[in-house]
Copies of this chain bind each other. A is one copy, B any other.
């Protein structure tokens, strides 16, 4: 495809009767330029409709003015608010956004979004393998992690939510306000950090109330409707029937609800169910799902702001934990 001839800095310089250096100065505002000269240059710029070419700027200036976002997979209710926060904040700060999903690809061993085309990146969860993370860290390439803390030898800022404390508060509520003593927990995927913290919060609350955690009632939910459904169906078949099930995320809570319904058990009368995330469906279910609302968009915003601090040479906070909100609805036994 042929590209039309662009208006370059030279055209402007010629038109204004100055050198390209002066035009550059006027455009960037880096050095003082005589008011008259500035006016002439501005006039030429407007007349010609000059737009600086960012690519050339990047080559010369050694920066791209672009932020990269690396995610595992573009999927789930989680994704949209996350991207929204990142895009908006980047844009507000004048950065472009390059996005890349690492799922299913790994062409030639190198990642298409990294130091060569961005000034810094935001890494969601464990979308980047540890060795790549280390490589970038050693190179001192600016990056911020979201929803995943870095390994101890990688000293990079991290923004996430108060997983442990939230789970703890939820379980406190279930025990203290609803009077449940037998609570099952449905884990997220193997190694998922969010899930680990939530489980820890669950266990600490149970312990703090002098309640025993029955290991038979710690199951796999996989942050997935299907897996959770399977686990709970098995429980029911084996005669295990906890009074309450805490699913580590709302998607698995969906599976729990379906499994209970199929087993002829009523929610919340027979079994109470709570989730985590407050996905959109949560409030539309009947009974509506009690859950924890995570400020996903806010996490994104803070992540971008943290990265920009890094880019500007400031020293950002290394760990940011954003607070959540308990959303009490009918599925836990509450009624208005």
Contacts and interface: CB of A to CB of B under 8 A. Distances in A.
Given A59-B56, A281-B280, A116 B51 contact: yes
23 contacts: A1-B119, A1-B140, A1-B311, A2-B140, A3-B62, A53-B116, A54-B117, A55-B55, A66-B98, A74-B87, A80-B80, A83-B83, A87-B99, A87-B101, A96-B100, A96-B113, A97-B98, A97-B100, A99-B99, A280-B280, A280-B281, A281-B284, A284-B285
A30 interface: no
A311 B1 CA distance: 6
Most chain B C-beta atoms within 10 Å of own C-beta, residue among A1, A79, A97, A313: A1
A237 interface: no
Contacts of A286: 286
Q: Which 3 A-B pairs have the closest CB atoms?
A: A74-B84, A55-B58, A59-B59
A190 to B, nearest CB: 24
Interface in A1-43: 1-4
A254 B284 contact: yes
Contacts of A66: 98
A242 interface: no
A115 interface: yes
A116 B54 contact: yes
A125 interface: no
Contacts of A115: 3
Interface string A107-145: 100101101110110000000000000000001101000
Tell which of A55, A92, A281, A286 has the most Cβ of chain B within 10 Å: A55
A1 B137 CA distance: 13
A274 interface: no
A210 interface: no
Contacts of A117: 54-55, 96
A116 B311 contact: no
Given A55-B117, A80-B79, A97 B96 contact: no
Given A1-B140, A54-B116, A286-B286, 17 more contacts: A1-B142, A2-B140, A3-B62, A4-B139, A55-B58, A55-B64, A55-B117, A66-B98, A74-B80, A74-B88, A77-B80, A83-B99, A84-B101, A87-B100, A91-B101, A91-B112, A96-B117
A225 to B, nearest CB: 10
A33 B47 CA distance: 47
A64 B53 CA distance: 12
